Structure 1
Amino acid sequence: MTHLLSDELLATLRERAADYDRDNAFFAEDLADLQAAGYLGTMVPTALGGAGLSLRETAREQARLSAHAPATALAVNMHHVWVGVGRYLHERGDSSLDWLLAEAAAGEVFGFGYSEPGNDLVLLGSRTEARPDGNGGYTFHGRKIFTSNSPAWTRLGVLGLDPSGGNGRRGGEPRLVHAFVTRDGGGFDILDDWDTIGMRASQSRTTMLDGAHAPADRVLRLLPPGPSLDPYVLGIFTSFEVLLAAVYAGIADRALELAVEAVGRRTSMKTGKPYSQDPDVRRRIADMALTQDSVWLQIDGITRDLDASASDSTLDRGAGWFRATAGLKVRVTEAARDVVDQAVRVSGGSTYFNSSELGRLYRDVLAGIFHPSSDDSAHSTVAQSLLGPLD
């Protein structure tokens, strides 16, 4: 397994994490260090200037990063998602995002501007209006939420709906417009509204789009609203779900490590022995470890198949990837919450103080329930795969 992040760098990021959280500050120094380490080009093929790591290797690196600085990992994740989409297409003979891969390797920072308030369709619909510019490009008008890397992105992937279907006239079939806008192109306003209980350094602020422009060569797809097996959509969905799962698995890995340290350090007045000798505590620790063993078997298995499916069609699950990766995200984030909760229980009341790293992880891990796919959405996806669509 290839590692891009040195132990020394990770230790530095861990030292900053508490300060970023306390100050509700963006991870600017971390980002600069990660750029210098070539981490933004992790999945970019070597021929395009990157490190050439697979999705599986990147998931492992993201978990290592998250175990040291969860909010930094979550924000960088959104950049990696776009690189993952580019790599997914590139490996399947589609060069439409090769420009993105090259720019990521050169240090550009990509943001993910898809989430919207009240939009539970996610990739299947949009409240944002995409207006044709008459030359094949679009301007975007709407409200995006949870836009990680808000202070630093230089390229923002956006989704909007063109009711005219791209012809600028009434009566056309509506089309979802997937495109990229640039920071220096303007047409947007970023609100200073990120004051959350966890994942604070990500600064995933609200973005108001009011004329942000994507020229024709940065309009990547015009797709009908609703489910799609377009490789672009599959690339977004699978990369997002898998890499998100890895971030929360990394949090749980660290929680287990901290719990083991705590029970070896704490001593019971009742028995005079360390809590590591308490049968109930030992069972909790073992249960946490068993959970993490299962989590990593799932992440490694799905990412291995995704990586290999580019060259081995027998491993390509098609629409089954939606079920596989949505289920993975939900199982891993729920497991991570349980592991962190167990770690808090065995580590004692000191975790209730803001100075506690485990207490911070307890707040950070909660964010996992808000990312798509939600628990309800994943269950709906699985039910449809087994029972067919609702009448």
Structure 2
Amino acid sequence: MTPEEVLPDALLERLRGRAADYDRKNAFFHEDLQDLAAAGYLKLFVPTSDGGLGLGLAAAAHCQRRLATAAPATALAVNMHLVWTGVAHVLQARGDTSLAFVLAEAGQGEVFAFGNSEAGNDSVLFDSRTVAVPLPGGGYSFTGTKIFTSLSPAWTRLGIFGKDPGARDGAGELVHGFITRETGGYRILDDWDTLGMRASQSNTTVLEGAEVPANRIFRKLPVGPNADPLIFAIFACFETLLAAVYTGLGERALTLGVDHAKRRTSFKNGGRSYAQDPDIRWKVAEAAMAMDNLYPQLAAVAADVDALTDHGPLWFPKLVGLKVNATETARRVVDLAIRVSGGSSYFRGSELERLYRDVLAGMFHPSDDESAHNTVANAWLGPLDN
């Protein structure tokens, strides 16, 4: 199926029509989620044999880009479900079936969320402030705080990880598993009152001894960077799908800027359209060229993941570079669109005003600007001397 078939124009317009209300009320996108589930959108990566659409990362990224043109906060939150199902798909394509149950359960309607982020943990996936305590039978009890848990009101499966500090002769071990909505030992705080991406309802989740049985523990990794396929799969899906959302946001901002430039008229120039103003035309061209540079990068990185292309040590620079380029380009394009559109875009409730707030969230997603530049510099120049 094409993205246009997965997300037909009529569905996109329904989603777009709700976005402002969700933002104004700081409300979760329940109706959007129902519509997307009914359209099979949550099963993009699920094989057709399990009732899914059987798509790859390139097609899913295109779909997320299209969804974000209508409802960026909805797209951002749905990303977390797609990251887990995408990780399962990417691993399976490489012969690793350890997360096959994720695809099977997504095919049955389960909704997955990403509970890995922690305040103050700039090691991201390579260490954890959450404590994982071994239990009899091979399970673990997790205690810690996870932030930016998108889909908080709706997830039925939450992927989490923590550190067993006593494992590996005291070096520690990172333990990955899933809890269900029915699992005890966790609380979801009602603390999502943010500048933008409000409909995502990415509340804080407090783990208070949440128990994960042995059959839900799917990885145990050493602390620190490592070459386990899970790490690549998470980075590949997280960064690529995140980039797709911000690409769609920038695409929508450019469309709005063009429309406003054509509709605005100059009193000084006898009612002439601002589309004829050289300065306005330069700004629109600048935004269009920036987006034109981004589209092929997104498509190429996603296609290479699908094709099992071996970029070796350059894979991570490519992924973090895509994320930073997408979020920074979208921010620049939104700014140009607002300059083109005039003072009306400054008023609360205008779509560009909402996009301006939403796009700022891009700088907080991993990998951040500093980390990404360090990754790319190390790949090309080698690490810093001690």
Q: TM-score scaled by structure 1?
A: 0.96
| Letter of the structure 2 residue corresponding to residue 269 of structure 1 | F
| Displacement of 1:5 | 1.2
Q: Say whether 1:120 aligns with 2:114.
A: no
SS in 2 for 1:143: strand
Separation in structure 2 between the aligned mates of residue 26 and residue 14 of structure 1, nearest angstrom: 14
Q: Say whether 1:341 aligns with 2:335.
A: yes
2:287 maps to: 288
Superposed counterparts of 1:135-174, under 5 Å = 135-165=137-167, 171-174=169-172
1:299 maps to: 298
1:383 maps to: 377
| Displacement of 1:173 | 3.6
Q: Say whether 1:62 aligns with 2:64.
A: yes
Separation in structure 2 between the aligned mates of residue 151 and residue 319 of structure 1, nearest angstrom: 38
Superposed counterparts of 1:103-114, under 5 Å = 103-114=105-116
Superposed counterparts of 1:220-259, under 5 Å = 220-259=218-257
Separation in structure 2 between the aligned mates of residue 185 and residue 355 of structure 1, nearest angstrom: 39
Separation in structure 1 between the aligned mates of residue 63 and residue 374 of structure 2, nearest angstrom: 31
1:373 maps to: 367
SS in 1 for 2:138: coil
Q: State, as a whole percentage, how many aligned pairs show the same letter.
A: 60
Please, what is the CA RMSD of the aligned residues?
Answer: 1.1
2:307 maps to: 308
| Letter of the structure 2 residue corresponding to residue 48 of structure 1 | D
Q: Say whether 1:185 aligns with 2:147.
A: no
CA contact (8 A) 1:155 1:183 kept: yes
CA contact (8 A) 2:149 2:202 kept: yes
1:312 maps to: none
CA contact (8 A) 2:171 2:223 kept: no
Separation in structure 2 between the aligned mates of residue 217 and residue 233 of structure 1, nearest angstrom: 20
SS in 2 for 1:194: coil
Which shifted more, 259-268 or 178-187? Answer: 178-187
CA contact (8 A) 2:2 2:59 kept: yes
| Displacement of 1:319 | 3.1
1:26 maps to: 28
Query: 1:319-348: CA deviations, max 9, x gaps?
Result: 321111001100110000000000000101
Superposed counterparts of 1:46-125, under 5 Å = 46-125=48-127
2:277 maps to: 278
Query: 1:136-161: CA deviations, max 9, x gaps?
Result: 11111001000000011110010100
CA contact (8 A) 1:2 1:53 kept: no
Query: 1:17-41: CA deviations, max 9, x gaps?
Result: 0000000000011111111111111
CA contact (8 A) 1:38 1:105 kept: no
SS in 1 for 2:55: coil
Separation in structure 2 between the aligned mates of residue 276 and residue 198 of structure 1, nearest angstrom: 30
Separation in structure 1 between the aligned mates of residue 23 and residue 67 of structure 2, nearest angstrom: 16
2:132 maps to: 130
SS in 1 for 2:353: helix
| Displacement of 1:94 | 1.1
Separation in structure 2 between the aligned mates of residue 67 and residue 261 of structure 1, nearest angstrom: 15
Separation in structure 2 between the aligned mates of residue 359 and residue 306 of structure 1, nearest angstrom: 35
| Displacement of 1:211 | 1.4
CA contact (8 A) 1:255 1:340 kept: yes
Separation in structure 2 between the aligned mates of residue 60 and residue 16 of structure 1, nearest angstrom: 22
Q: Are the structure 2 counterparts of residues 149 and 126 from structure 1 closer, same or farther at C-alpha, using a change threshold of 3 Å?
A: same
* 1:37 aligns with one of 39, 44, 52: 39
1:319 maps to: 313
Separation in structure 1 between the aligned mates of residue 130 and residue 261 of structure 2, nearest angstrom: 51
| Displacement of 1:389 | 2.5
Query: 1:18-76: CA deviations, max 9, x gaps?
Result: 00000000001111111111111101121232101111111111011111001000000
Separation in structure 2 between the aligned mates of residue 322 and residue 214 of structure 1, nearest angstrom: 30
CA contact (8 A) 1:256 1:289 kept: yes
Separation in structure 2 between the aligned mates of residue 361 and residue 173 of structure 1, nearest angstrom: 44
2:261 maps to: 263
| Displacement of 1:388 | 2.2
SS in 2 for 1:84: helix
| Displacement of 1:172 | 4.2
Query: Where does structure 1 lack aligned partners over 5 or more consecutive residues?
Result: 310-314
| Letter of the structure 2 residue corresponding to residue 2 of structure 1 | T
| Displacement of 1:360 | 0.3
Separation in structure 2 between the aligned mates of residue 294 and residue 339 of structure 1, nearest angstrom: 12
Query: 1:196-223: CA deviations, max 9, x gaps?
Result: 0100000000000011121111111110
SS in 1 for 2:265: coil
| Displacement of 1:254 | 0.3
SS in 1 for 2:182: helix
| Displacement of 1:278 | 0.3
CA contact (8 A) 2:257 2:284 kept: yes
